[in-house]
Amino acid sequence: MTRPFSPEERQVIKRAQKDLLFFLEQVFSRSFDGETFRMADGKKHPFALGQLHRNWARLVQKHNRLCVMAPRMHLKSTILNHAFAFWQLFKADGNVDGIIFSFTDQLAREHVALLKRLIVANPFCRAWVDRKPRSEGMISFVVDFGQGRTWLGEVRGSGIMSASRGRHPKFVICDDVLSDFANPLDPTQLIKIDNLFRQVVMSMPEPNDPLIVVGTPQSYEDTLYGLRDDPTFYWARYPAIIDEESQLTIWPEKFDFRRLERQRKAIKDRAFRVEYLLTPVAAAAAFLSREDVERCADPDLKRWSLQEPFANPARYPVYAGMDVGKSLHPSHIAVFVQMPDGTLMQVFEAFLDDLDYRRQVNFVNRVIAHFDVHRLYYDSTRAELDDRGLSARAHGFKFTKSKKVDLALHLERRIFAEADEPTIILLKHDRMIGQLCAVRKDLSSPESRDGHGDSFWSIALAVHAAEEGPSFVDLGNVNDLFSRRPRQWSPFLRE
């Protein structure tokens, strides 16, 4: 016979049903009775939350739609998947069902099986009746706290590729639906998962019911990063190291800086950046990191339109580059003004989606005339635009392995320019920056719905055109003379 709940236990149950943090500390922790875990001090301790996990508990209780990126072994699945699903059943006061999505059916079933073991081991669930005792891939409990009222709590697991319309659970948890670092997905798979998530998964729960997404990113264009711009989601990113200089970490009780540094040496820097610092898999192999590129992007820089006169009263020289493509590999054009200290300031960019080569030539000629471009270099490796009436200011540049390396290195030098060297100021345009960062260290790039590294090569060609063009007399570094945004910049900034 089940031991009845004491008055003290009933008080705990009542309060835990209202407060997730209290549930974690007073109920969920009891699933680990008798277990100890090695912490940063080298000793074993009972299960305990860090401030990081308390913050997560407050977030997930406050926001029905939440996306959290967090490092491995920091309890992201334990808190935001297993404990949260457990709490949904615990507090329901009425029939409740949920779905846990992972990358594969097997991974999802493993999450459900672990959740079930946590429930069975918990003394506060001793009166619950397991309706599927032999099933580890599905949870079906009659929830009973000995007060005469019971309800049915069910959780199923599913691979993200098996997501289908028609189901409307009370809560949905997506836990690592993008596979992992050891098995990175190609861009077409990431697109398919993103489409399934947006077209199927997001419509499963009612708008006021929970939809929780946790995981490690693979690309700046994947579902996890895409939700950053979704106003219906609260989005948060928690790299393991907050600040390298001060050696501050997000869970110092378990992973202090010294332990994380040992882990970095053990798994090597690239894996560490992906799994602990949450650098997307694709970005870890990128020639230019997004962080470095975005430091060169100015949100106040104006993208000029072809429908308005271009203001360049000082007649600074203008240079451009174009990576030529079509269909899956769209062409991209980038236009820059060269400032007196040699800095290149971007004034225009465009992806030429779905334009045939004849219309591309017309567009390029219009850009050259509108901005009075001194020189434009374009990729003529396959000669798509040759002999089609391009302006005489456009010059073909045939890519070879050595020339691509040279172009990439000159662009890199601009991105990482010292204070007394000419740099590059970019428009803050997500697609352009994403493709600028899509080129890998071996100078290859994956195909995606946004392109094929096209803006990397158009900008690199523009840099090359400027470096081979007529130059100003050196007037010194305008940043030193006129502060971060010298007066020469003013015509090119937003009003």
Distance CA 69, CA 178 (A): 12
Distance CA 342, CA 337 (A): 9
In the chain, what are the domains? Answer: 7-285 (3.40.50.300), 292-492 (3.30.420.240)
Instruction: Place 153 in a pLDDT band, splitting at 50, 70 and 90.
Output: very high
Asked if the model's pLDDT at residue 142 lies above 80, the reply is: yes
pLDDT (0 to 100) of residue 472: 43
| Overall average pLDDT of the 408-428 stretch | 92
Of the listed ranges 77-81, 170-174, 180-184, 464-468, the least confidently predicted one is 180-184
In the structure encoding, which two tokens stand for residue 336, read together?
A: 């820059």
Smallest CA-to-CA distance from 318 within 333, 332, 296 is with 333
Asked if the model's pLDDT at residue 475 lies above 60, the reply is: no
- As beta bridge partners, residue 65 has 211
pLDDT (0 to 100) of residue 1: 67
pLDDT (0 to 100) of residue 444: 87
Place of tokens 């900034």: 493
Q: Are strands 129-130 and 138-144 parallel, antiparallel or unpaired?
A: antiparallel
Distance CA 327, CA 280 (A): 26
Tell me what percent of the residues of the chain surpass a pLDDT of 90. 69
Give the start-end residues of each E strand in 380-482: 394-397, 424-427
pLDDT (0 to 100) of residue 183: 67
Q: Dump pLDDT digits (tens) for 59-110.
A: 999 999 999 999 999 999 999 999 999 999 999 989 999 999 999 999 999 9
| Residue-averaged pLDDT of the chain | 90
Asked if the model's pLDDT at residue 478 lies above 60, the reply is: no
Cβ neighbours for 400, distance < 8 A, ≥ 6 positions apart: none
CA distances (Å), 102 to each of 81, 158, 174, 193, 416, in order? 11, 7, 6, 11, 39
Asked if the model's pLDDT at residue 471 lies above 70, the reply is: no
| CB-CB neighbours of 377 under 10 Å | 24
User: Is the CB of residue 136 less than 8 Å from the CB of residue 116?
Assistant: yes
Select the highest-mean-pLDDT range: 85-99, 187-201, 347-361. 85-99
pLDDT (0 to 100) of residue 3: 87
Q: Dump pLDDT digits (tens) for 8-55.
A: 999 999 999 999 999 999 999 999 999 999 999 999 999 999 999 999
Distance CA 402, CA 421 (A): 24
Asked if the model's pLDDT at residue 479 lies above 70, the reply is: no
In the structure encoding, which two tokens stand for residue 6, read together?
A: 């004491």
Edge-to-edge strands of the sheet including 234-237? Answer: 129-130, 138-144, 150-159, 96-102, 171-175, 211-215, 65-69, 234-237
Q: How many residues does the chain have?
A: 495
Asked if the model's pLDDT at residue 280 lies above 90, the reply is: no
